[in-house]
Amino acid sequence: MNIPTEQIGSIPRPVELILGMKAYAAGELDDRGLQQLIDAALSDTIRRLEQTGSGVVTDGEQSKPSFVTYPIAGMQHLSPDGVTIPFADGHTRQLPKITQGPFRYQTYADEYLNNARKWTRLPVKQAVISASALSLLYPTEGIEGYSREQFIVDLVDEAEADIRRCLDSGAYNVQIDFTEARLSLKLDPSGGLLRSFIDLNNQVLGRFTEEERKKIGIHSCPGGDHDSTHSADIAYTKLLPLLFQLNAGSFYLEYAAERDKPSVLRSIREAMRPGQRVFLGVTDVLNPSVETPGEIRDVILEAAEIIPFEQLGTTDDCGFSPFADDISTSREIAFAKIKARVDGTRLAELAISKGSSMSYRF
C-alpha cells in the first residue's frame, strides 16, 4: 500500500544566499562568489530533504529569482511595467513585459536539475513555469513587427523545450506551475481566460506522448507569497472541472488550507479521469504551526474515503518560498513540515494496509 509523496518545489533560501543575490545584482559580488553561496545552499537543502525521509527531492529552487521569471532572467528587452498581481494582504508582485521579439528562454530548468543531481543519488523532480503564465509577458499594446500570434508560437516551442530538456536529463518527473489558474477566475469569472490558459498549456502537453505525459504534472494553488494568497476566495468547485481538462498525468493541489474539504474532495472525484493521480496538499505552507504526523494521517484517511487509493498522493500546499526575497517562513519550519508530511503519509499507508482507516461521512 504505497502513497507517493513529493514536495512542490521551493524552500526558503538561507539569509546568506538572499543577501548574496542582492549583492550580485548590485555588482558587489562576482559569479564565483554567488555560485559558492548557491552550492552551499543547494547541498544543505538536499541533505536536509534526504533527512526528512523524502524519496524524491528537488533543488528547493535555491538559485531561481522566482518560480515564474527564471526563463527570462538576464533578458535585455524587458520593461518593468507588466501585469500586476495583488495579494490579499495588500502587497503586489509585478511581472515585466517583453519589448522585442523573438521570445527565447535565457535559462532552461534542466540547468537547475543537473546541478541538483550532483548532490544526491535520489530521484530529482523539476518544477517549470507554465506557458500560460509566461503569456502574460506580452504587452496588451502589442509589439511592432512581432505579433502576439508569433509570440505564442515561439512560447509553445520554448515551453516544450523546457520540459523536454528536463525529461531528457533524467528528471524523475516535471511539475508545471499553473498558479495563475485560480487567479484567472478572479480576473474573468466567466472562465474564458482560464479556458484560454488551458488550451495554451494543452498545446504544449500535446507535443508529448502519452507515456511522457505520465511524468508531467500540474500544480495549482491560490498563490503563496509573504503568507498571503491572491485567489483563495475563488471556490475550487469553479476551477477543478476545467483544470482536469489538462492532459497531464498528475495534479498537485492545495488542500490543507481549504475550509470545506468534503466539497473539494467530491469535486476532485467528479473531475479526475482514470489514470490521473492527485497529490493533495496536507501541509499548510502559510501557517507557521507544524502539523503532526497524526494530523496528516487523518487528513489522508479522510481523503482516501473519496479519492481512489491508487490515484492518491500527498504534497505541500504550495512552494514555501516561490520568490527569492520571501522570508516569511523559516527553513526550519519548512523542513519540519516536510518531515511531518512524509511521516504522516507512512502512517496513513500503515493504517490503510491494516484496514483500520476510519469511516467518514459527508
Instruction: Give the model's confidence band at 50: pLDDT under 50 very low, under 70 low, under 90 confident, else very high.
Output: very high
Q: How many domains does the chain have?
A: 1
Answer whether residue 356 shows pLDDT above 80.
Answer: no
At residue 29, the pLDDT reads 95
Residue 360: band (very low, low, confident or very high) from pLDDT cuts 50, 70, 90: very low
pLDDT band for 211, please (50, 70, 90 cuts).
Answer: very high
pTM above the 0.85 mark?
yes
Mean of pLDDT values over 138-143: 96
What's the average model confidence in pLDDT over 137-152? Answer: 97
Residue (of 240, 309, 253) closest to 279 by Cα position: 253
- The pLDDT of residue 326 is 78
Instruction: Return the number of other C-beta atoms located less than 10 Å from residue 75's C-beta.
Output: 18
User: Is 216 a residue whose pLDDT tops 50?
Assistant: yes
Determine the pLDDT at residue 361: 34
Least confident of 36-40, 200-204, 227-231, 293-297: 227-231
What is the percent of the chain with per-residue pLDDT over 70, rounded to a whole number?
98
**Pairwise CA distance, residues 345 & 341, whole Å:** 6
- Residue 227 vs residues 90, 178, 186, 324, 329: alpha-carbon distances, Å: 12, 19, 19, 14, 8
User: What confidence tier does 90 reach under pLDDT thresholds 50, 70, 90?
Assistant: confident
Amino acid type, 85: I
- The CA-CA-CA angle for residues 203, 208, 210, to 5°, reads 115
Q: What is the CATH number of the domain that holds 205?
A: 3.20.20.210
Say what the pLDDT of residue 222 is. 87
| CA distances in angstroms from 192 to 132, 177, 253, listed in the order given | 13, 20, 21
Q: Is there a domain that residue 362 lies in? A: no
Q: Residue 357: pLDDT band by 50, 70, 90 thresholds?
A: very low
Is 8 a domain residue? no
Map grid coordinates 524587458 to a residue. 78
Q: Please state, as a whole number, how many other Cβ atoms lie within 10 Å of the Cβ of residue 155.
A: 25
Residues paired with 313 in a beta bridge: 279
SS3 312: strand
The reply to whether 308 falls in a domain is: yes
Domain-embedded: residue 193:
yes
pLDDT class of 224 with cuts at 50, 70, 90 = confident
Q: Which residue has the cell 469553479?
A: 238
6 assigned to some structural domain: no
Whether residue 91 lies inside any domain: the answer is yes
Residue 48 lies in a domain: yes
The confidence score (pLDDT) of residue 362 equals 31
Give the mean pLDDT of 135-161. 97
Whether 200 shows a pLDDT value over 50: the answer reads yes
Across the chain, the runs of DSSP E, i.e. the strands, are: 78-79, 84-86, 92-94, 97-98, 126-129, 174-177, 216-220, 250-253, 277-281, 312-315
Q: Is the pLDDT of residue 166 over 60?
A: yes
Query: Does position 359 have pLDDT exceeding 70, yes or no?
Result: no
Which structural domain range is residue 249 located in?
Answer: 15-353
| Average pLDDT value over all residues in the chain | 94
* Integer angstrom CA distances of residue 163 from 78, 128, 135: 24, 7, 16
Q: Residue 267: pLDDT above 90?
A: yes
* The pLDDT of residue 89: 84
Grid coordinates given for 207: 507535443
For the chain, helix (H) and strand (E) counts, in that order, are 12, 10
Output the pLDDT for position 278. Answer: 98
DSSP character string of 99-156 = -SS----SS-THHHHHHHHTT-SS-B-EEEE-HHHHGGGS-TT-BTTB-HHHHHHHHH
Distance between CA atoms of 12 and 18, rounded to whole angstroms? Answer: 9
- Is the pLDDT higher at 96 or at 1? 96
Question: For position 358, what pLDDT does the model report?
Answer: 46
- The answer to whether position 359 is within a domain reads no
Q: Does residue 239 surpass a pLDDT of 50?
A: yes
- Residue 124 in this model has a pLDDT that exceeds 70: yes
